[in-house]
Structure 1
Amino acid sequence: MRKSITKLFLAALSLLCISGCAGRDVREPEQEIIIGVVTKSRNSEYWMSVNAGMEKAAKERNVKTVILSPDTETDKKIQKKMIQDLLKMQVDALAVSPIDSYDNQDYYAQALEMGIPVYAYDTPIADVEVPYIGIDNETVGYELARVLADKMEHRGNIAIIAGSREQTSHEKRIAGFEKYMEQEPDIHIEVEKSGYSNLRVSEQEMEEIQANYPNLDGIMTTSAVTALGLAEATRGSGIAIATLDDQEDAIRAVEEGHITVLGAQSGYEIGYETVKYIVNDKKGIKQDREKILDTQILTRENVEDYQNLKK
């Protein structure tokens, strides 16, 4: 009788142990992180590259991205509507490349109230403090000026044709460029035009600029898409062109001598590092408030080496 009771007791104890052990091993499945992303546009190689980098990083880290894109970098109202749509989805994080760096307080306050962290990538947000992932635009502008001045043999006249001054990326590129040019007494900035965000300058527009400023020796523009239009419109004129963005058509233009100096900021890397930064932040990993990425300054002399490194 005593042996039977002992066997029953041990059996019951064994079942409790199995149940308890199983309970300790069972984990609630981790909730999928959804990152809402708004780009500036959808119609350029650069932004397609940004999207590809984000999708690659998201796949590697088992998170989801919802990427919305206005048609062009002038669609400020459309971009704001897309941000609101993502907030309604109650995404876990919001990444924005702002069309207007100075008009973000409304949705930021809403996101803050909802517990959704906001991040800026490619272009800093200026009116609220959020983490930024991208290049140091002012430093790159400075370096482009230095190389362009050397190519112009430190004399001549320059036009600056920039993107929207509402975007701090373009603003800082110009600031860095002008800061260096203060050291060049024989180089003169003849004219500065803005509002060409991701837009090609037409041959007619360039003809008007050259008619008003016939002695131009160089042009600084803050977008490779704009630069490609300028390169076509000025072909054979001897005007040196400096610009930014790592896209194949712009790199090819450097190889062919149509663009003189290119700041190659990798859209793919910016997209990839943005998702990586957000995931690390969600995990509580300590990071700097700014993730500054490298930019290569390319000329005809070193562009082939750069292409080989990318392969």
Structure 2
Amino acid sequence: LLQEGIDALIVSPVNIHHTAQWVEEAQQRGIPLLTIDEKLPGIPYVGSDNYCIGQMAAEEMAKRLPAGASVGILAGSVNQDAHMKRTAGFRDYLREHTDLHLVAVTAEDTKYRQAALESADMLRQHPDIRGLFVTSAVMTLGVIDATEGNQLPIHIIGVDTQSDALAALRLGRIDAMISQDGHESGKMAIDLIVKELQGEGIDGDHFISNEVITKGDADAYQMKED
């Protein structure tokens, strides 16, 4: 794309550690660059405040569990900044504002099957876990399938609001999801790139809105998404 005379570039990096070459080339060519969903140092960013998402999830979890309860985190790939920031926000909120105990954290690719296996293994090693924070919707669906037969209820909070996750939320299989509107991110990215091409600066972070969605909110949120 950079060699085809484009005027601007919006990228959602799959691996934040393999970006230097195309970032440098875009800058050398004077092509405005914006990242969406994944944040890179020094590059304008559009998407969620992922640290805040982790904090929101921890606050919601604390409402559902008694003091002293054990919780775990199933995070996505360490090659993606979003999952690491969500993990950090959740961990920091628990430490600073609750009496909950974080006893296990895993970081794997954001795959359904892997999340199911990891959550089952985590609960075997830590049968006292009563809450799980999962940093993507796909992983959340894997986790709920792996934990439904658990003798004691596991409170599950995930991130992102694709339709199958909202359906599971409506059925009470998930306690809450932190929303992330891809349409809002895409529109904001285009608006910002237009401003940049018109000579306005777009430096810094540009955050979309995020909400805690629970069972009672799921239908209304789905209608808004549709």
Indicate whether the TM-score tops 0.5. Answer: yes
Aligned residue for 2:96, secondary structure, equals coil
- Residue 125 (structure 1) shift: 1.1
1:6-43 CA-to-partner distances (Å, cap 9, x unmatched) read xxxxxxxxxxxxxxxxxxxxxxxxxxxxxxxxxxxxxx
Match of 1:99 among 8, 11, 14: 14
- Name the CA distance, whole Å, in 2 between partners of 1:258 and 1:204: 18
> Larger radius of gyration, structure 1 or 2?
1
Whichever residue aligns with residue 47 of structure 2, its letter is G
Assess, with a 3 A threshold, how the Cα gap between structure 1 residues 87 and 258 changes in structure 2: closer, same or farther.
same
| Match of residue 193 from structure 2 | 278
- Residue 185 (structure 1) shift: 5.3
| Match of residue 289 from structure 1 | 204
- Name the CA distance, whole Å, in 1 between partners of 2:129 and 2:121: 12
Assess, with a 3 A threshold, how the Cα gap between structure 1 residues 112 and 161 changes in structure 2: closer, same or farther.
same
Aligned residue for 1:186, secondary structure, equals coil
**Residue 182, structure 1, aligned to residue 107, structure 2:** no
- Name the CA distance, whole Å, in 1 between partners of 2:81 and 2:115: 25
- Name the CA distance, whole Å, in 2 between partners of 1:267 and 1:246: 9
RMSD: 1.9
| Match of residue 179 from structure 2 | 264
Structure 2: gaps (5+ residues): none
Match of 1:195 among 84, 108, 129: 108
Assess, with a 3 A threshold, how the Cα gap between structure 1 residues 309 and 113 changes in structure 2: closer, same or farther.
closer
- Residue 236 (structure 1) shift: 4.3
- Residue 113 (structure 1) shift: 1.5
Contact 2:137–2:160 under 8 Å retained in 1 = yes
Contact 2:72–2:131 under 8 Å retained in 1 = yes
- Residue 268 (structure 1) shift: 1.9
- Name the CA distance, whole Å, in 2 between partners of 1:258 and 1:192: 21
| Match of residue 25 from structure 2 | 110
1:1-311 matches, cutoff 5 A: 86-126=1-41, 129-183=42-96, 186-201=99-114, 203-237=116-150, 238-287=153-202, 289-310=204-225
Whichever residue aligns with residue 193 of structure 1, its letter is T
- Name the CA distance, whole Å, in 2 between partners of 1:260 and 1:95: 34
Contact 1:160–1:192 under 8 Å retained in 2 = yes
Assess, with a 3 A threshold, how the Cα gap between structure 1 residues 153 and 298 changes in structure 2: closer, same or farther.
farther
- Name the CA distance, whole Å, in 2 between partners of 1:307 and 1:248: 7
Whichever residue aligns with residue 197 of structure 1, its letter is T
Aligned residue for 2:13, secondary structure, equals coil
| Highest RCO, 1 vs 2 (Cα 8 Å, sep ≥ 6) | 2
- Residue 202 (structure 1) shift: 5.5
Contact 2:51–2:88 under 8 Å retained in 1 = yes
- Name the CA distance, whole Å, in 2 between partners of 1:135 and 1:182: 22
- Name the CA distance, whole Å, in 1 between partners of 2:155 and 2:111: 20
1:134-159 CA-to-partner distances (Å, cap 9, x unmatched) read 11111111011000111123441111
TM-score, reference length from structure 2: 0.90
- Residue 307 (structure 1) shift: 3.1
Q: How many residues align?
A: 224
Q: How many percent identity over aligned positions?
A: 30
TM-score, reference length from structure 1: 0.67
